[in-house]
Amino acid sequence: MVLEAYKIESPQSLIEPAISVHRLNHYFGHGDLKKQALFGIDLEIKTGEIVIMTGPQVREKRPF
């Protein structure tokens, strides 16, 4: 998975993020079939940023 961020700076965007995620883990399945897909993801998106998420499979991006 690739994250690309393009910033459009404004005074408000320098203060605090519009979206903030810290230590995100995500799992698919249950019991013996449970598999971890995301490992400790940290992400901050400020107001005015445009984020494009790309990857080969939809399930990689679904938790976001």
43 touches 21 (CB < 8 A): yes
End-to-end C-alpha distance for the chain, whole angstroms:
12
pLDDT tens per residue, range 3-61:
555 556 656 546 688 889 899 998 888 999 999 988 998 989 888 888 887 777 766 66
Give the torsion through C-alpha atoms of 55, 64, 45, 50, to 10 deg.
Answer: 50
> What pLDDT is attached to residue 48?
83
Measure the CA angle with vertex 58, ends 54 and 64; round to 5°: 75
> What pLDDT is attached to residue 62?
62
> What pLDDT is attached to residue 56?
73
> What pLDDT is attached to residue 23?
93
- What letter represents residue 4's amino acid? E
